Amino acid sequence: MAQPTPRIIKETQNLAKDKVQGIEVTPNPANFKHFFVIISGPPNTPYEGGVFDVELLLPDDYPMSPPKCVFNTKIYHPNIDNLGRICLDVLKDKWSPALQIRSILLSIQVLLSSPNPDDPLNNEAANLWKANEAQALMKAREFTLKYAKKH
């Protein structure tokens, strides 16, 4: 079986030692390229109080290619579709091998605080965000209360 690269070992150790507020990362003991992530909804957002289950997978050629991240918790957000896929520049064309798992998780956390309806993956949510932000925020809050398990 393949062994983790020194980089993956170091990043995993750093994530365990220097925790990111609002984010819990647990490496899958059976697969060093698979991480279970819990992201707490940021304060003063419709996601506040929610707990979002995310999985992060490192590709075989990491860090040359970005990790794959998927929300397992249903969420109403213009940049996250109903399959949990995330539209985020650092997971696509803005990826750089200089970035780390930590920077990706922080970017996802920021995305929850600052949705970008101009680069949507969920067109319905993006259109509502643009047409009636208050209603979109209400709907996002409803999804959080219904689907994001509490602390």
Closest CA to 108 of 20, 26, 3: 20
pLDDT tens digit string along 69-113? 999 999 999 999 999 999 999 999 999 999 999 999 999 999 999
The yes-or-no verdict on residue 150 having pLDDT over 80 is no
The yes-or-no verdict on residue 137 having pLDDT over 90 is yes
**For residue 133, which amino acid is it?**
E
Asked if residues 49 and 149 have their Cβ atoms less than 8 Å apart, the reply is no
pLDDT of 1? 61
3-state SS assignment for residue 53: strand
- Write down the catalytic residue from 15, 87, 101, 104: 87
Give the C-alpha distances (Å, rounded to integers) separating 110 from 13, 79, 107.
23, 12, 5
Average pLDDT for 121-142: 97
What is the end-to-end Cα distance of the chain in Å, rounded?
36
Residue 133 CB neighbours (<10 A)? 12
The yes-or-no verdict on residue 151 having pLDDT over 70 is no
Closest CA to 140 of 79, 56, 53: 79
Active site residue 69: no
pLDDT tens digit string along 1-60? 678 999 999 999 999 999 989 999 999 999 999 999 999 999 999 999 999 999 999 999
Closest CA to 67 of 18, 27, 17: 27
Q: How confident is the model at residue 147 (pLDDT cuts 50, 70, 90)?
A: very high
